[in-house]
Chain A
Amino acid sequence: MITLDNVTKQYYSLTALDNVSFTIPRGEVVGLLGPNGAGKTTLIKLLAGLIAPTRGYLRPVQAGWPVIGLKPERLLFPNHLRVSQYLEMVAGMCGVAAADTERVVIESLARVNLLNAANKRIKHTSKGMRQRLGLAQAMIGNPPLLLLDEPSNGLDPDGQQEMARYIRELHAAGKTIVMSSHQLQEVTQVCTYLVILHNGRIRYQNRMAAALALRPYVRIRSDRPLAQIETLLRGLHPDIEVEGDTAVLRNEAMRLRRHVLTLLLNMDYDVVRVEQKRITLAEIYAEAVQ
């Protein structure tokens, strides 16, 4: 949808983004992960057109810059307005016809379960309501690209689940979504494309399904520590590791699992559990930001 070509963003001597290149795939939910200061918010501001790159450039994949709905990280709204008044204003700015405004506002409020707060002044709403209001205003006008900066920040577990559900619904409706988050579980649940930033650079990017399908491994747990036969196991294949009472078989060594099982049983070890696992997002993240 939008391509970034060697984009660098500097604030005086601080390099917030360093030579970043990637394309936001249409119809995907792109999860931006990274520690604080990694450049996630800077990237979202660049995509939103709020700041300009110091070097490099951004260009739409198709002609014309897409209409964008933005939910910023900070939940700041004009507090003197009522929830519905604010959304009516946003609808007016998005070109919604005056006759349709009320319907559009009600629909967007209903979509994020905020109908009962329509007449509340924004200053009297809770943090969860404000997160949902942020999402509601971003959805108005049906923009094809949504930029959500930490959409479930500060929400309780129920609120997080609810937010994940909204995002999945938007994805199902064909929206392209770029969201930053610190919640690995949320990203695993809702994102279909993963970008991990660290120190302003992209350290990892892949489709989520492909990322999590990578590098499966087998764990064979015995009834007691395997230290005595560690050398023997490693001699079978260098990709066999011993972690206490567990033998971990990675890559090509996975094909030797029957052989390892037989070896353990022959050496009078009881096998407690055998499981085939895949790499987790937490492991991908940890490797990327090391």
Chain B
Amino acid sequence: MNRRIFVLTGYLFRSLFFSLAGSLYVILALAYWAIFFPPGQGTPDLANYMLVIGVFGAALSFLTTITITGRANRAENYPLVVRLPSRVEYITAVLLSALAFTFLLQLLIALLALIRGPELTLGRALEIPPIWIAPNILAAVLALHASDLVTTGWSRVAIFGALALFLLGNSTHAGLSQWLADRLGGFSRFFYEQNAIPVSDAIVRLAAWLRGPGIETLGEIFGSIFWPLRAIAGGVTTGYFTPAQALAPAILLLFATILFLLAADFFAAKDLEMTE
């Protein structure tokens, strides 16, 4: 299995690296470096260095995965897919090749940025891999779900719809809480008119809770899936990680694992109609 994945990973990596799209990514990376770490500018601080390159890695990981899935989804690969005992090997190779490509460009930017960049102690340097790698993997797995290769039926809409819902709920939880409380008020009046006083009272209490402490609780529920990202950013900015914040990369990897298993399940069961 390892050899098959290794061979496929190498093939997909080379197909991107020696393509026009691959060259464009290199140019994009250099442009990013020139914009955020201009050689003439003063030395950036370490938090800036870690965050800016971390964001670059996650974004690049998403884009390269989308590009590689496009290549992996070509009909020329039917004979290769047929040879695999499990299709999971195929998307594993897609994921690994995208991560390897991202790693190369991220490393390039990271080294270039050090020319006039922050002084990096060994201790802080050792903090960097989990901070960069976990979001990269999560972004790559999300990109799998966005791709035609993996998506099946409405799966793409369901995954990104749920994500959008959490984002929306996270940013507008106060308004959402108020809106829910108003609707519950209407229900409460309806039950009151039907003489269902205990039900009406319970709904009134729920509406009151939503107008009070419920606002924060709702915010925490919707914001929970973004907590690891906030925790990493917080830890990087302050220069130290609390024990809870130190778990954030592991939680991102847990999210990525769940999403990858879901992607593998979708891909294993779908009819392969690759583009010709």
Q: Which residues of A contact B (CB under 8 A)?
A: 48-52, 67-72, 74, 76-78, 80, 89-90, 92-95, 134, 137-138, 141, 147
Contacts and interface: CB of A to CB of B under 8 A. Distances in A.
9 contacts: A48-B82, A49-B82, A51-B271, A67-B83, A77-B76, A92-B4, A94-B83, A95-B3, A134-B79
Given A50-B272, A78-B76, A95-B4, A70 B11 contact: no
B81 A50 contact: yes
A90 B83 CA distance: 9
B269 interface: yes
B78 A70 contact: yes
Nearest to B7: A92
Nearest to B19: A80
Contact of A93 (B15, B78, B83): B83
B82 A76 contact: no
B84 A93 contact: yes
B271 A141 contact: no
A76 B74 contact: yes
B11 A89 contact: yes
B154 interface: no
A71 B79 contact: yes
Interface string B12-24: 0001001100000
B276 A76 contact: yes
Nearest to B87: A49
A76 B15 contact: no
B79 A90 contact: yes
B75 interface: yes
Given A93-B7, A95-B3, A52 B271 contact: yes
Contacts of A147: 82
A52 B269 contact: yes
Given A48-B78, A70-B79, A89-B11, 6 more contacts: A72-B78, A72-B79, A74-B75, A78-B11, A92-B4, A93-B8
Interface residues of B, number: 24
Contacts of A80: 15, 18-19
Contacts of B8: 93
Which one of A50, A89, A141 has the highest number of Cβ atoms from chain B below 10 Å of its Cβ? A50
Nearest to A134: B79
A74 B77 CA distance: 11
Interface in B33-74: 74
A271 to B, nearest CB: 57
B269 A78 contact: no
B80 interface: yes
Contacts of A89: 7, 11, 80
Contacts of A67: 83
Nearest to A147: B82
A138 B80 CA distance: 10
Nearest to A48: B82
Contacts of B18: 80
B82 A137 contact: no
Nearest to A141: B83
Which one of B8, B79, B80, B84 has the highest number of Cβ atoms from chain A below 10 Å of its Cβ? B79
Contacts of A78: 11, 15, 76
A102 B264 CA distance: 33
A190 B272 CA distance: 30
Nearest to B84: A93
B5 to A, nearest CB: 9
Q: Which 5 A-B pairs have the closest CB atoms?
A: A92-B7, A76-B76, A51-B271, A70-B82, A50-B272
A138 B11 CA distance: 18
Contacts of B15: 78, 80
A69 B81 CA distance: 10
Contacts of A68: 82-83
Contacts of B76: 76-78
Which one of B15, B19, B83, B271 has the highest number of Cβ atoms from chain A below 10 Å of its Cβ? B83
B75 A76 contact: yes
Contacts of A52: 269, 271
A101 to B, nearest CB: 10
A148 to B, nearest CB: 11
Nearest to B8: A93
Which one of B19, B78, B81 has the highest number of Cβ atoms from chain A below 10 Å of its Cβ? B78
Contacts of B81: 50
A123 to B, nearest CB: 11
Contacts of A90: 79-80, 83
Nearest to B78: A72
Contacts of B269: 52
Contact of A50 (B3, B6, B7, B271): B271
A69 B79 CA distance: 7
Contacts of A48: 78, 82
B79 A138 contact: yes
Contacts of A94: 83
Contacts of A141: 83
